[in-house]
Amino acid sequence: MKDNNWKQIVQMHGTLRLFCNLAIRKTPKGEALSAQEIDLMYHVALSKEAVTPGMLTSTMGISKTMISRLIDGLTQKGMILKKKSTTDKRSYSIVVTQKGKKEIDDMYYYYLNPLYTLKENMTEEAKYDESIADTVSQKMAQGLQTEAQDDKDSLFADAARFVIEKEKGSIGMLQRQFKIGFNRAGRIMDQLSDAGVVGPEIGTKPRKVLMSAEEFESYMSNN
């Protein structure tokens, strides 16, 4: 890591999940990490102790099955490694790889580096006040929270329940079910993918549903 201060900033403002959702926007298509995958990576990176799947189930508020899927996906993408326990062969902890650390580092500089640049260029005459900085940071966090909430389509929850019931999802299915245009259906499908409800796009095939109805309701209650 180039700068460990980013950890304190993210923790101080409690914007970990929001930060993960925003990070999706800069990820190159084809290598996309879902919001939950990024969320998991940050939980591991920020922890001061070894992180196990059981701990993630508790801290992230999602099922063991979903945690296992996220871990397997991130392992395949080379973002994390499973480190076997020396005392229990059935147990393991999770470690962020160098590739994963670079991804985290890139996100940090993309979103937070402008704040450091602003602070570094302030003169003594500016009479920099920490209380003013806190106020600005709080307003920024509030603005980002509003932005993230506004991003969710009003049909997001209904669309999620629909594809879960059908056990598959596609843009065409959403168009027909909700009588909406292609662009809006495409945005909703992207949001479902970011939330971990459906998997990535694979050619013209319908997307695979990754959440059960119970897991989705748990997701909604925590977001």
Query: What is the number of domains present in the chain?
Result: 2
Instruction: Specify whether 125 is located in the same domain as 28.
Output: yes
Residue 216 sits in a domain of what CATH number?
1.10.10.10
33 DSSP 8-state letter:
P
Coil, strand, or helix at residue 29? coil
4-18, 24-38, 110-124, 200-214: range with highest mean pLDDT = 200-214
Q: DSSP letters of 152-219?
A: S-TTHHHHHHHHHHHT-B-HHHHHHHHT--HHHHHHHHHHHHHTTSB---BTTBPBPB---HHHHHHH
On whether both 70 and 164 belong to a single domain, the answer is: no
| Residues 18 and 74 occupy one common structural domain | yes
Tell me the average pLDDT across 141-159.
68
- Note whether 11 and 69 are same-domain residues: yes
Tell me if 94 sits within 8 A of 53, measured CB to CB: yes
Enter the pTM of the model. Answer: 0.47
Same domain assignment for residues 69 and 14: yes
* Contact call for residues 33 and 196 (beta carbons, < 8 A): no
Decide which of 103, 136, 169 is a domain's last residue.
136
User: Residue 148: inside a domain, yes or no?
Assistant: no
145 within domain boundaries: no
Render pLDDT for 93-142 as a digit per residue (tens, 0 to 9): 999 999 988 888 777 766 666 666 665 665 554 544 555 555 555 555 55
* Mean pLDDT of the 133-162 span: 67
